[in-house]
Every structure is written in C-alpha cells, then in structure tokens.
A and B are shown apart, each in its own frame.
Chain A
Amino acid sequence: MELADIGRISIALALGCTVYACVVNGMSISGNRTLLAISGRNGMVGAGVMTSLSVVVLVIAFITHDFSIQFVAEHSNKAMPIGLTIAALWGGQAGSLLLWAWILAVVSPIAVWRVRSSDSQLATNAAFVLTILLFFFLAVLIFVDSPFKQLMSPPSDGRGLNPLLWDIAMQIHPPMLTAGYVCFAIPFALSIAGLMTGRIDRDWVKLVRGWMLLAWALQAAGLLLGAWWAYRVLGWGGYWGWDPVENVALIPWLLATAYLHSAIVQERRGMLKLWNVSLAISAYLLAIFGTFIVRSGVLTSVHSFAVSDVGPIFFVFFGLLLICCISLIIIRLPVLRTNNQFESATSREAGFLINNLLLVSVAATTFWGTIFPMISEVIQGARIAVGAPFYDQVNGPLLLALIILIGIGIALSWRRTDSKQLLIRLMPAAAVALVTGSLLFLLGIRDGLACLAVSAVGFTAMSTLTNFIGAVINAKDTGNSPGIKTVFSVLSKNRRRYGGYVVHLAILMIAIAVIGTNMYKKESSVTLGPGQTTSVEGYVLRFDELRFSRANDVTAVDAVVRVVSQGDGIEIVPGKRVHDGWETQPTSWVGINTSVPSLTDLYLLLTGWEVNPQLITLRVIVNPLVGYLWLGGAMYFLGTLMVSWPESKSREP
C-alpha cells in the first residue's frame, strides 16, 4: 500500500467518523439521550485522530520526497531544506484545506469536551454544528481537491515551492491565520447551539468569549506575520495594501474585536444579546466568505497563489450557512429580548456601543470596498479598482475616532457618568493631547492630520495611564503596602482589565507606526556606479560592489551599499534571487537598516543592475517609525496573554 492510499483512507475514515458523530449527535438532541451524546463525542475524537493521521502521512510524503503524489511534486523538491519542505504542506490549496480540516477536527472535540462540563445540552448542539462544518471540509478534500491525488508518471524531482514563500514568516503565518479562521467556528457553533437551546445568558457569553479571544489572537498573529512577510519579501516598502486577501482576513478580526467589547456589556448588564450572537455568527461566515474570495479567483491579489475550482463550493456553503443562521435568529428573536436598557449616553456601556459602531463600520466599509469590483463587473461589465486611497479616506477617520474613543471609554463608569467628573478625569489626557499637538507644530510638522492623529494617541495613552494610576492610588488607600508591590497587586487582581489596557497601548504603538509610514514615507530612485556616493532622503549612500553567487539551485546577485552618513558606515545588501525552475519570478532580497530609537527603516531595493561597467539602480524608501508596528505586535500578545491567563476560581472575573 502506498502512502497516498493511507492518506486517502484516513481522510475517508475521518469523514465516516464525522458522519457518525453528526447523526448520533443529532439523534441525541432530538431524544436528549446522554449515551448517544458521549458516543457522538467519541466519533469526533475519531475524526480528529484520523485527520491527524492523514496530515502525518502527507508530512512523511514530503520528507521522503514521494513525488508520485501530485501535491508533493508541485510544491517541493529535493533541494529544499527540511523546515521549508514541511511548510510546503500549506504552500498550495489542497494542503491548506487539509490544514484547515485538521485544525477543525482537533479543536472541535476539545471545545465540546470543555463546554460539556458547564452545559451538556449546549455541548451536544455545538458538536452537531461542528460536525456539519467538518463534514464540508473533509468532503471537499475527498471529492474536489485531494492532496493525495497521484501522478501516473512521477517526476524525478519536484517543482519546488514558490520562491515568494521561502521565508520564515511563511512557515508560521499560514497556520496561524488558518487556525484563526478555524477557531471562529467554535463561537459560531456555540451561537447556533445557544439559539437552539434558547439560553443566551451570562454563562454562554463567557464560554464564547474564551474561544473568541483565542480566534482573535490567532487571527491577529496571522495578520501581523503576513504584514511582516509582505514588508520584507514583496519589496514594495509597505506592509499593508488593503489588498482583497488582507481585507477578508481583517474583517473577522474586526468583528471579533467588536464582540470582545460588547460581550462585556452582556456580562455586566444582560444587554445586546441579539447583537452579540450576530457578531459571533458573522465573524465565522465572513471567514468562510473570505476563503471563497481567496480561493475562487474572482478577485486578483498578490496573495492568492492558490486559485482553483473550490470557490463556487465555498460560496454555496456560505450561502446555505447564511440562510440557516438568519432563519434561526428570526425564529429565536423572543429569546434574544433584552431586559435592561441604556440609562445614559455617557456610560461605559454606551462607550462600548459606539466602539461597536465604529468597528463594524470599518468592517462594513472594508467588505463593501472588497466586493464592489465584483458588483461592478456583474452590473456594468467593467472591472474597476478600489484601492488604498479609498480605505485611507473612509477607514482612516473611523480608526482615528476609535483611538480617541478608547481614551474616553476608559474614563466612563457603568450606567451613568457625571459629566463634570468625566471632564475632570479626562483633564490630564486632554492636557497631554494639547501639549503633543503644539509640540509637533513647534517642531515644524505642519500637517494638521498628523498633529491631530498623534495628539489622539497621546490623549488615549495618558487616559489609560491616569486610570491605572488612579486604581493604584485607590489600592494604596485601602491599606495595601505602597510601591511597586501595589502596582503588581492591582495588575494581578484584574488581569482581564489591565491586559486589555496593554492591548490598547499596543494598538496605540501600531497607530504611531501607521501614522509615520502613511504620512511621512519618502521614496526615490537612484543610479550609482562603484564608489559613487549620493545623498538621498537624509542618508548618504555609497555603492561598493556587486556580488554574484550560486548555491542550492538559487542564483543570487547582491549590491553592497554603505550608509556613510552614520559613523563608519553600516553595510546594507539588497539583492535579487532567482530560483531554478522559477526564472520568471525573481524575488527581492530587501536591505533594511533600522535606526534606534526612532525605529525608522532605511529600506533598499535593487531594481536593476548592469555588469560592464557596474551600475545599479536602487529604490530608496524611508519608513519612519515602522518598527513600532512590530514592537506593538509583540506587546499585543503580551496583553492577550494577560487577559487570557486563567483566573483563580475565587475571584470575580
């Protein structure tokens, strides 16, 4: 028996287990029989095991270079290093679908098992929904696009991986993003399950919140790694281009962010049930829709390296899910009625409501801009582009408002805030904003928008700090020992809240990077001979020599450039790489030099060269403050870790 057969059989068995689990769980729901529910859960575990086996088989096929399997032959070759060979698993469509199914198959039983202890009925319903989702992916893997398809005459060596994917970020980014997409399935399943049982209560919100937090963090990791990859590999000096593929990954993240905030309102006040259910459901539906867009080729994008015929199937799946969800929500509307109402427009819950308005507006704008070219093609038959200028103009102000709102929201109390008190609380923040704005103006920054945006960041940072300092002072007043110990005790007593603050500060850092790169990015193009120096964008550059080399089927050309304006000269080596078999797709080897502490990048790209006499053309890009994006990204995960660290049982969450 060949590897491919084992792989196919294990997927088929996984599908069998899934169908069994689905049927048994369904019967258990209608008959409310516990034994059946247990058997259904075991079926899910079986599906998880069998899917894992098929992944192992594919990995073995990659490592042993089994080129009789088409997917292996198309995405790897013998010369590739081992890490990359394994990462080639998600270098193509069938493999990334397998990855998707595998994560879903493994996460689902864990989720069901964890939910079971608090609400067994909910767990059974969720298991039913999850098995339907898993069934879809396994069926696609068997009937439409199998990673185990065999070749009649296996080639002696494989085609190799797309050179653009030869990067460390590409070994982590796709699994992260896939895991994020997949984990949105759990809140989705719990929402449907909750609608079925009719209990959308505080416990439900807490359960969903945990899984939403996980999906949200994974999605953010995927997005940030993707940005990092684009920045270093695609060679256009940017990290985010409002590209359709990026957009569809951002939308679920935005909705999850909205949910994480509005869920707090439901936990505290029992409001917004209908809204929260809709958010959890939409996040997953849009993840599916995103996959449809990426895979179907209806939109062109720099990221959609895997285009095929599974698009329409995803679209049908998406449509069916959408219809089911809407009908279920309409049927269950009475359950979603709220018993409380908003008491004041200056309350914490009102702040969350406006936060949701802004986040969902950004998501809706992004969605609209992404699908508009399709609408245009259908209605007027002409392809049009909706690019970064559109998103900058519409989403820019919304995101700015959101940043200011973070600062105001933190100062609001639940139910009702006395407006005088609110003003007093926000006084220090307003002062900082004013000082920041005028300081920037004095420093010669005449761009009103830049001043406003940075002031907004200062405002919110100060508001966050004041709030935290206030909590520390309060703790001291109630008899705690002063000093650093109090700070830590305040932090650990309400990890969820202050973890959120850390995430907010991380977002502010990212905002600083976005402001810097969006408004003050400079670029130009220079041509240099050996030994020539040029002054460009505040740097003095000298071109030393061109180096040619060849190793591991890769031909490389590197230009040695020195920044002579900074001390003894830092060497930057931008270059180009041509991989054998991919001659039409040379990849850029970007030269980056980050100056500390402004974290401003000098970004060099070799766009052309001549050998005799030596002459190079460089694209010189200065990206101010871009390093804060990566720093903010790291801080984001620190905050997320704080938020999700398990609280000890005795404490109020």
Chain B
Amino acid sequence: MIAFLRRATIFLVCFITLWSPMSLFADQTSGSTLNTEQRMWLLAEELACPVCDGQSIKDSNAELAQQMRALIVVLLDSGRNEKEVTDYLVLRYGEEILLDPPKSGFQLGVWIGPVLFILIGVGIVSSKLFSVRDSMDTSSESGSSE
C-alpha cells in the first residue's frame, strides 16, 4: 500500500509539474513594458485573418491582415487594452477570428476534450500498472485490468 501510494504520488507530482508550464504561457501576453508594435504582434498571433484560410493576421500578408494590424496599433495607442481590442475586432469580424478559443461557452468543449481524453488514458494506464501487481496491498484501488 505504501509502495503504491509513493509511486502514485511521484506520478501525480510529475504530471502536475509538466502541466504547470501552461500558466507561464498565460502570463506572457500581458506585458506592460512592451511597446505598441510588440503588443500588436502578440495579439496578432491569436487572431485569424478572415480571408486567408486559417492563417493568423501575424503570419498573413494579405491586405486585410495588414489593415487589421494597423487597426490594432491605432486602438492600442488610443489607450484600449488587449481585451477591448479583441472584443472590438470580434464584434467587427465575428467569433471565427479567435484562434485561441475562449475557455467559455461552446468553445470550452475544445479544451475539455483533451483533458477528458488524458484523464481516461491516465486512468487506464494506472489501472494496468498498479492494480494487478499490488493486488495484495491495494485493496482500496479498484480498477479493471482490461
């Protein structure tokens, strides 16, 4: 039982450690020390160009993408923050320009999918690895081996 708990803890700690970098990604976008152009490029990465097959307006050289980039600079310069600029552009071009799907509403589904899948996978794998071998000392662990 102790052996199992120890291993399970290690497993869990590893997993959390590996997933924590996600928070680092989130922090990067809200830099206040950046200049307007740098802030524009960061924002441009997350917005799709409406006319160019899923490319971001950062990557696209289409005229509309260039106009949108210029518009972002103007809006940022007028004192609006990233969220307000994004909201404005979404109002104008529709929700389909959001390359980073919002973690709310219907789009939450795209985020839940992988989490569910990984949880199921972890469940199956740990039942394979732990339950059979430790059958003597893990009476609390119920998992089928199939």
A368 to B114, CA, bound (A): 8
Contact A236 B101 (CB under 8 A): no
Assign chain A's interface to a size class.
35 or more
Distance in angstroms between the alpha carbons of A21 and B57 in the assembled complex? 52
What is the minimal beta-carbon distance from A396 to any residue of chain B, in angstroms? 7
Q: Which of B19, B58, B100, B110 has the most CB of A within 10 A?
A: B110
A85 to B37, CA, bound (A): 44
Q: Which of B112-141 contact A (CB under 8 A)?
A: 113-114, 117-118, 121-122, 125, 128-130, 132-133
Closest-by-CB residue of A relative to B133 is A343
Contact pick for B110, options A241, A350, A372, CB 8 Å: A372
* Interface residues in A332-377 (C-beta closer than 8 Å to B): 341-346, 350, 353-354, 357, 360-361, 364-365, 368-369, 372, 375-376
Complex alpha-carbon distance, A244 and B48, angstroms:
14
- Expressed in whole angstroms, the minimum distance between the Cβ of B61 and any Cβ of chain A is 6
Q: How many Å lie between the Cα of A365 and that of B111 in the bound state?
A: 9
Whether, in the assembled complex, A554 has its beta carbon less than 8 Å from a beta carbon of chain B, the answer is no
Contacts of B56 in A (CB 8 A): 387-388
Main secondary structure of the interface of B (DSSP, over half): helix
Q: Taking CB as reference atom, which chain A residue is nearest B56?
A: A387
Point out the residues of chain A lying under 8 angstroms from B101, CB to CB: 372, 384-386, 390
Q: B61, A235: Cβ atoms under 8 Å?
A: yes
Cβ–Cβ contact B54 & A236, under 8 A: no
Q: Is B22 an interface residue (CB 8 A)?
A: yes
CB pair B99 A302 closer than 8 Å: no
Which A residues lie within 8 Å of B22 (CB)? Answer: 393, 396-397
The answer, among B11, B99, B125, for a CB contact under 8 Å with A390, is: B99
Taking the closest CB of chain B, its distance from the CB of A435, in whole angstroms, is 19
A623 CB, min distance to chain B CBs, angstroms = 13
Beta-carbon contact of A393 and B25 below 8 Å: yes
Q: Which of A376, A404, A449 contacts B21 (CB 8 A)?
A: A449
| Cross-chain contact B132 with A341 (CB below 8 angstroms) | yes
Chain B residue at minimal CB-CB distance from A408 = B14
B126 to chain A, nearest CB (A): 8
Q: In the complex the two chains form, what is the Cα distance from A292 to B115 in whole Å?
A: 27
Give the shortest distance, in Å, between A361 (CB) and chain B (any CB): 5
Q: Say yes or no for B18: interface residue by CB 8 A criterion.
A: yes
Contact A392 B25 (CB under 8 A): yes
A529 interfacial contact with B, CB 8 Å: no
A237 CB within 8 Å of chain B: yes
> Which of these, B25, B41, B52, B109, contacts A302 with CB under 8 Å?
B52
Q: Let me know if A452 is at the binding interface, CB within 8 A.
A: yes
Q: Could you tell me the distance between the alpha carbons of A605 and B58 in the complex, rounded to whole angstroms?
A: 13
Binding site for A on B (CB under 8 A): 7, 11, 14-15, 18-19, 21-22, 24-25, 37, 41, 45-46, 48, 52-56, 58-61, 66, 94-101, 106-107, 109-111, 113-114, 117-118, 121-122, 125, 128-130, 132-133, 145
**Given contact pairs A376-B106, A393-B22, A523-B41, a sample of 11 additional A-B residue pairs in the complex whose CB atoms are under 8 Å apart:** A237-B59, A241-B54, A244-B54, A302-B55, A384-B95, A387-B48, A387-B99, A388-B45, A397-B22, A448-B24, A452-B21
A interface residue numbers (CB < 8 A to B): 235-238, 241, 243-244, 300-302, 304, 341-346, 350, 353-354, 357, 360-361, 364-365, 368-369, 372, 375-376, 379-380, 382-390, 392-394, 396-398, 400-401, 404, 447-449, 452, 523-524, 588, 605, 607, 619
| Contact sample, A vs B, 9 pairs, CB 8 Å cutoff | A241-B55, A244-B54, A342-B128, A342-B132, A344-B133, A357-B125, A368-B113, A397-B19, A523-B41
Report the 4 A-B pairs with minimum CB-CB distance, sorted nearest first.
A387-B99, A389-B100, A236-B59, A368-B113
